Amino acid sequence: MPEPLLTLAGVHTHIGQYHILQGVDLAVPRGELTMLLGRNGAGKTTALRTILGLWKASSGSIRFDQAEIAARETPDIASMGIAYVPETMGIFAGLSVKDNLVLAARESALDEARLENVFRFFPALRKFWFLPAGLLSGGQKQMLSISRAMIEPRKLVLIDEPTKGLAPAIINNLIEALKELKQTDTTILMVEQNFHAARSLGDGVAVMDSGRIVHTGRMADLAADEALQTRLLGLSLDVHQ
């Protein structure tokens, strides 16, 4: 197994009086796509937000690219090469599609080759280039959100349920785009409930329950073992499509 790019050790996160992450231990191998699965309320989104510093870990260690980042501020962590695609799409609705992508590219100008690649998967973005992003459909907003992670080279991309609420045709587009992203040696940690997407994309898998990692392994092994799925997730992944 490749060496981990990201390692969480004994991470606890409190949100107000609630103790959400209760000692998360997780290693995300470099260059792989790791699926983070679990029932609703298991702490998956909180884990992603804690890695990015949007929630501060109350204790434990988060190491990224051999640097301790648990105490760092969000902009510092993002500047180290981590992109975040939140469940709520996280676009700037009042800004144009172009401005959303330019912002994601930060200091540098848009890379033409990467932009063409984005347009190849999501042609709608070219069509609505100057339109305020808030006027896009739900699927197009998600495309824009994913594109922001693709427009600049990143070491790690955190993606939270990218296929949620999307039509099957758009999901297939997203899967192809994420496969392309994988080819660039980008490490991805992704929360996903759609089994088809999870099986198509996942290399490794980690399952969360009650704020802890209760299983780690290969995605293909979990996909092939219905009994394990039922034990870990409460029901077979086939039902999650």
Partner 1 sequence: MRAIDTLLSGDLPRSRLLALALGAILFALALAPFLFPGTRSLDVAAKVCIFIVLVASYDLLLGYTGIVSFAHTMFFGIGGYGIAIAMTRLDAGWSALAIGTAGALAVSLVLSLLVGLFSLRVKAIFFAMVTLAVASFFAILASQLSDLTGGEDGLTFKVPEFLRPGFRLLDEPVLGVVFGGKLITYYLVFTSALALFLGLLRAVNSPFGRVLLAIRENEFRAEALGYRTVVYRTLANCLSALVATLAGVLYALWLRYTGPNTTLDFAIMIDILLMVVIGGMGTMYGSILGTTLFIVAQNYLQDLMKMASGATRGIPLLPDLLHPDRWLLWLGVLFVVCVYYFPLGIVGRLRHGGARKG
End-to-end CA distance of the chain: 29
> Segment contacting partner 1 (CB under 8 A): 75-83, 111-119, 196-204, 227-235?
75-83
Q: Which of 54, 110, 175, 228 binds partner 1 (CB under 8 A)?
A: 54
> Segment contacting partner 1 (CB under 8 A): 19-27, 76-84, 159-167, 227-235?
76-84
Q: Does 11 bind partner 1 (CB under 8 A)?
A: no
Q: Per the structure block, which two tokens stand in for 145?
A: 């959100």
> Segment contacting partner 1 (CB under 8 A): 13-21, 31-39, 72-80, 171-179?
72-80
Between 39 and 56, CB nearer to partner 1: 56
Q: Does 92 bind partner 1 (CB under 8 A)?
A: yes
> Segment contacting partner 1 (CB under 8 A): 14-22, 31-39, 74-82, 233-241?
74-82
11's enclosing H/E stretch is strand 4-15
Residue 227 burial by Cβ neighbours in a 10 Å radius (0-12, 13-18, 19+): exposed
DSSP 158-173: EEE-TTTT--HHHHHH
117's enclosing H/E stretch is helix 112-121
Helix/strand/coil for 190: strand
Between 106 and 126, CB nearer to partner 1: 106
- Residues facing 157 on adjacent strands: 83, 188
Q: Does 16 bind partner 1 (CB under 8 A)?
A: no
**Cα separation, 230 vs 142, whole angstroms:** 30
Q: Which of 25, 29, 31, 102 binds partner 1 (CB under 8 A)?
A: 102
Nearest Cα to 199, choosing from 241, 231, 169? 241
Q: Does 95 bind partner 1 (CB under 8 A)?
A: yes
Chain residues binding partner 1 by CB under 8 A are 52, 54, 73-75, 78-79, 84, 86, 90-95, 99, 102-104, 106-107, 148
